[in-house]
Amino acid sequence: MATEAVLAAAAAVPAASTSQSVFSRKSSSPSSFNGAHLRHGFAASDNFSRQSGGRKGSPASTAAGKRRGVVTMGLSQDGPSIAVVGVTGAVGQEFLQVLHDRDFPYRSIKMLASKRSAGKKQEFEGHEYVVEELTEGSFDDVDIALFSAGGSISKKFGPAAVNAGAIVVDNSSAFRMDKDIPLVVPEVNPEALNGIKVGNGKGALIANPNCSTIIALVAATPLHKAAKVKRMVVSTYQAASGAGAAAMAELEQQTREVLAGQPPTCNIFSQQYAFNIFSHNASVLENGYNEEEMKMVKETHKIWNDSSVKVTATCIRVPVMRAHAESINLQFESPLDEDTAREILQNAPGVVVIDDRERNRFPTPLEASNKDDVAVGRIRRDISQDGNWGMPVP
C-alpha cells in the first residue's frame, strides 16, 4: 500500500525563523490556534498563553506578562549578556518579541544597528536602551549575539563576535552551507548543537535556515522520521515580512496607492506587489530555479544529513503582510496512512494542526502571524499516487 499525504503549514516568518533557531520552546498545545478569536497583531496575541505559542504583548513593557500572573525571568544577574544585531529591522524586532515572550533570562542586552540608527531609543521590557553602531568592538562581554542585519554584515562581524567569546546565532545565509557550522532548527536537529555551550568564553557560530525551509521541515521531519521521505515537492506563498520592514511598508503604501487609482511605488520590488503575485524576487540561477528555491533543496539535505532525498520547490510572493504559507507534497519510502500522519503531527514539537474539513477551516497567514508554531492543515492522501506512500502539506 502507498499513501500520499498532504499537509498545510503556515507560520509567522521572522518570528518562526528566529525563535525556533535560538531558543528551545516550552510546551506547545495542539489546540493553541483553535479556541480564541484570531486576529492580526498584538491585540490577538493577548488571547493566547505562552504555552500556546502566543504573544504576551509589546516587549516594550513587562506589564502584559505580569498582568496574567506569568513569572518573568527577564533581567537577571544569572542570565547571559545578549547583543541583538540589526535590532531596528523586522527580524531584530522579532528577536526582542521572542526574548520577551519566552521570559528569556539576560543580565544585559545591547541594541546594535547601523550608524544611521545610532542614538535612537529602543524600549525593551520597561527599560529604555540607546541603539549603538555595530563595530568589531561591540562584543566584549557578550555571551549570545543574535545577528540579523544581512549576510555581508554577518560575514564581517560574526567572526569578531566569535573571537570575543560570543555564541553567534546567525539569521542570514552567510554561513548556512559552511560544513563546519551547524544549521539548526531546534525542533528538527537539536543534536547539531552538541558541544556548544553558552558562558564558557568559547565562541561559536550557529546558522539558522531560510524561513521557508524552517516551516517545511518543522512539519515534514516528524513524518520523515516515521516513514522516510523519498521526495518532497514544496510550493510557497511568501509574505512581505520575509523581505524586511521596508517591503512591508511598500506593500501597505502600494495598496493605498492602487485603491486611490495612483501608480504604485516600486522601490523594494521591481513590480507591483499589491493585488498581484509573482515569482520570488531572489535571483534566478542557470538551472531556472531561483536562489530561494535552491536554498530549500540544499538546506534540507544538510539539516536531514541526507542528500538522497529528492526536493523541488517553487517560491512565490503573495501580497500578504506576515506569515508564509506552503503546500508540501511528500512521498515516503514506507507506507504512512493519513490518520497516522495527522496523529504524528498533533504530537510534533512546534506544530499545531488545524484541519477542520467540516467548516472548511485550515491555517491562514492571519492566524499564524505573531505566533511561533507552524500551523498544519489539509492533511490528505495524494490521490495521484497509488497506496500510502505520499502526502501533501501546505
Ligand X SMILES: NC(=O)c1ccc[n+]([C@@H]2O[C@H](COP(=O)([O-])OP(=O)(O)OC[C@H]3O[C@@H](n4cnc5c(N)ncnc54)[C@H](OP(=O)(O)O)[C@@H]3O)[C@@H](O)[C@H]2O)c1
Which residues are near ligand X by CB under 6 A? 13-14, 17, 86-92, 113-114, 116-117, 134, 148-151, 153, 171-172, 208, 210-211, 242, 244-246
- Closest distance of CB 201 from ligand X, Å: 25
| Residue in 100, 224, 280, 324 annotated catalytic | 324
Beta carbons of 138 and 83 less than 8 angstroms apart: yes
| Residue in 211, 224, 280, 315 annotated catalytic | 211
Which residue has cell 568589531? 136
Beta strands, E only, 121-174: 121-124, 127-130, 132-133, 144-147, 167-170
- Closest distance of CB 247 from ligand X, Å: 8
Instruction: Decide the pairing of beta strands 278-279 and 310-317.
Output: antiparallel
Nearer to ligand X, 20 or 52 (CB): 20
Nearer to ligand X, 177 or 226 (CB): 177
Q: What is the DSSP string of 191-253?
A: GGGTT--TTSS--EEEE---HHHHHHHHHHHHHHHHH-EEEEEEEEEE-GGGG-HHHHHHHHH
Nearer to ligand X, 53 or 65 (CB): 53
Beta carbons of 361 and 265 less than 8 angstroms apart: no
* 211 assigned to active site: yes
Q: How many CB atoms lie within 10 A of CB 62?
A: 21
3-state helix, strand, coil in the chain (%, to 5): 30, 25, 45
Nearer to ligand X, 6 or 83 (CB): 83
What is the dihedral sign for C-alpha 57, 354, 223, 322? negative
Tell me which residue has its CB nearest to ligand X: 89
Nearer to ligand X, 244 or 349 (CB): 244
Query: Which letter does DSSP use for residue 334 in this model?
Result: S
- Closest distance of CB 220 from ligand X, Å: 17
- Closest distance of CB 381 from ligand X, Å: 31
- Closest distance of CB 219 from ligand X, Å: 15
Residues labelled as active-site residues: 211, 324
